[in-house]
């Protein structure tokens, strides 16, 4: 069973409204094991809507139309579906009575154009939404090339749409499919390797997956959230699909090792704070070009307060000198980054410190080009007698991207040092 989603509304094409409905519907279809290969947007134009629906029916067994069921002149989804079915619209007295009763219960007069919402293509079945909306959904049987297909219509109002999809449409699709199945996905988050580099490392596994077709693997480069690897499996139930994903996850982790820092919605800050917490360590930050972004993300992690001491936003050079004790000289340098990390430890009373300085743009600074970033780490008791260290990383992108990449690069560096110290508790002994 393949089901396509068609979002209707000129405001979607103009960017005035973000289409979150299609994403939610796609998620529900996946959970129910219904394949969804296409999502389309079309404006409020009858001919283009009909053309879009015909295309959808040519490649899918079912179509969910979202939007265009209101009482105004541009709400023409009902008319488009009626044309697809080759039938007229007729007034459904029961739906009309419900709409009128809703207005009466609120002490309001019903505008006559609301009766447009009670018009139903001949042969279609209204979906009565238990929520207090006025637009009923529709279940519309369609025959194409001797095959029985179906077009569903739901309002664009998210609350009403979700109720109808969950209570009426998904169960109807499952019943039509004659097959109980579900889809389970897990996202592995990585940092430290390019998308092409990951593909090269995983070439052998990808070949195996391409041969089996289940589970599947997809890449998604997501900026400060890392490069995501989404594993998706289909099975007769949730447990079976999850077991397929878990087995493949073990294979991929064995290949990628520490490049994987988290799963699903887990940001890179969460495992770092957990590693510090497990060793009874606290963290202090000194941020220049990142301007508090790293500290903000640390604070976003629930329970961070028992590990995260704070962040000194040393944007101005004199703050680096006077507060953090950075020696006089260039502030975009390895030496400055190391001193900032040490200063963060000292001033904030933390066990471990990170310092970040660099050039986010738009112009070069101290002779350093845009994208130059220096990261300092002072590992304190983790580093033995080694003292603060620093490294240089060239980053690319616009000003915001450079700052974001600097954050994840610095936090990941600390994560890798902590993991290494767990394997060798006294690496300097």
The pLDDT tens digits of the residues spanning 347-369 come to 999 999 999 999 999 999 999 99
DSSP character string of 210-234: HHH-SSEEEEEE-GGG-EEEEEEEE
| Residues contacting residue 72 through CB under 8 Å, at least 6 positions apart | 113
User: What's the CATH number of domain 182-263, 3.40.50.620, 3.20.20.10, 3.30.70.2860, 3.10.28.10?
Assistant: 3.30.70.2860
pLDDT at 108: 72
pTM of the model: 0.74
| Reported CATH class of domain 269-423 | alpha beta
User: Given the DSSP bridges, would you call strands 352-358 and 283-287 parallel, antiparallel or unpaired?
Assistant: parallel
pLDDT at 178: 84
User: Using an 8 Å Cβ cutoff, are 44 and 74 in contact?
Assistant: yes
Q: Mean pLDDT throughout 130-146?
A: 81
Taking domain 3-177, whether its CATH number is 3.40.980.10 is answered by: yes
Domain assignments of the chain as residue spans, ordered by start: 3-177, 182-263, 269-423
pLDDT at 116: 73
Quote the distance between the C-alpha of residue 377 and its chain's center: 31
pLDDT at 30: 86
The residue ranking higher by pLDDT, 235 or 336, is 336
Token pair belonging to 209: 């997956």
Give the dihedral of Cα atoms 24, 29, 30, 36; nearest 10 deg: -100
- What value does the CA radius of gyration of the chain take, rounded to a whole number of Å? 28
Mean pLDDT score of the chain? 91
Q: Mean pLDDT throughout 375-400?
A: 91
What distance in Å separates the CA atoms of residue 12 and residue 364, rounded to the nearest whole number? 40
User: Using an 8 Å Cβ cutoff, are 74 and 67 in contact?
Assistant: no
pLDDT at 246: 97
What distance in Å separates the CA atoms of residue 166 and residue 105, rounded to the nearest whole number? 27
pLDDT at 429: 38
pLDDT at 119: 86
- Whether the domain at 182-263 and the domain at 269-423 fall into the same CATH topology: no
């Amino acid at each position: 069973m393949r089901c396509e989603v068609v979002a209707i509304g000129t405001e979607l094409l103009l960017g005035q409204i973000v289409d979150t409905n299609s994403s939610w519907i796609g998620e529900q279809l996946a959970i129910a094991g219904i394949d969804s290969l296409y999502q389309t947007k079309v404006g409020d134009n009858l001919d283009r809507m009909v053309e879009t629906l015909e295309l959808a029916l040519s490649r899918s067994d079912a179509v969910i139309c979202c939007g265009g069921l209101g009482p105004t002149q541009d709400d023409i989804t009902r008319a488009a579906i009626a044309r697809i079915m080759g039938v007229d619209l007729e007034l459904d007295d029961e739906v009309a009575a419900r709409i009128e009763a809703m207005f009466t219960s609120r002490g309001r007069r019903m505008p006559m154009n609301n009766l447009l919402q009670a018009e139903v293509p001949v042969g279609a079945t209204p979906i009565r939404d238990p929520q207090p909306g006025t637009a009923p959904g529709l279940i519309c049987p369609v025959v194409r090339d001797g095959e029985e297909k179906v077009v569903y219509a739901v309002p664009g109002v998210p609350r009403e749409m979700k109720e109808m999809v969950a209570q009426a449409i998904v169960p109807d699709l499952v019943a039509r499919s004659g097959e109980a199945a579900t889809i389970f996905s897990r996202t592995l988050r990585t940092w430290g390797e390019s998308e092409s580099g990951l593909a090269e490392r995983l070439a052998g596994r990808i070949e195996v997956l391409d041969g089996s077709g289940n589970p599947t693997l997809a890449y998604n480069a997501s900026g400060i959230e890392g490069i995501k690897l989404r594993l998706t499996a289909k099975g007769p139930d949730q447990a079976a699909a999850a077991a397929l994903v878990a087995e493949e996850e073990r294979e991929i982790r064995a290949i990628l090792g520490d490049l994987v820092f988290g799963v699903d919605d887990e940001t890179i800050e969460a495992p770092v704070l957990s590693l510090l917490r497990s060793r009874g360590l606290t963290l202090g930050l000194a941020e220049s070009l990142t301007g508090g972004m790293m500290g903000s993300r640390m604070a976003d992690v629930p329970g961070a307060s028992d590990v995260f001491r704070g962040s000194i936003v040393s944007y101005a050079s004199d703050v680096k000198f006077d507060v953090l004790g950075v020696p006089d000289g260039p502030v975009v340098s390895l030496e400055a980054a190391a001193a900032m990390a040490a200063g963060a430890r000292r001033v904030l009373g933390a066990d471990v410190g990170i310092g970040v300085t660099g050039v986010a743009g738009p112009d070069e600074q101290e002779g350093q080009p845009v994208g130059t970033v220096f990261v300092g780490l002072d590992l304190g008791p983790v580093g033995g007698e080694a003292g603060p260290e620093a490294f240089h990383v060239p980053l690319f992108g616009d000003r915001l991207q450079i700052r974001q990449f600097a954050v994840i690069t610095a936090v990941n560096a600390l994560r890798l040092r902590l993991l290494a110290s767990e394997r060798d508790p006294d690496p300097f002994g």
